[in-house]
Amino acid sequence: DVILLTLELEKTERVTLSLNDAQQKQVFLQTIQSQKIAQPVDLRALPVGTYYLTVQMESGRIVRKVVKV
């Protein structure tokens, strides 16, 4: 019930992590300034369902679907 997001970037960047539910309600937000990131995202308090994890960097964006069962 905890996701560990790890990233290693080419240079130090400002990275914003957000987790939204299927209705686009934001349930997690964290901003980090780093080159190497190891950020846990705790899902234990969230209900079963589909979520979207967005990693917004200066160099681009990554979105991944997360399903909690």
Please give the average per-residue pLDDT across 7-31, as a whole number: 96
Please give the average per-residue pLDDT across 45-68, as a whole number: 96
Rounded Cα–Cα distance for residues 7 and 15 (Å): 10
Beta strands in the chain (DSSP E): 2-21, 26-42, 49-57, 60-68
Q: pLDDT value at position 56?
A: 97
**CA dihedral in degrees (41, 59, 65, 27; nearest 10)?**
40
For residue 44, name the pLDDT band (cuts at 50, 70, 90): very high
Q: pLDDT value at position 45?
A: 95
Please give the average per-residue pLDDT across 7-25, as a whole number: 96
Q: Are 62 and 54 in contact (CB under 8 A)?
A: yes
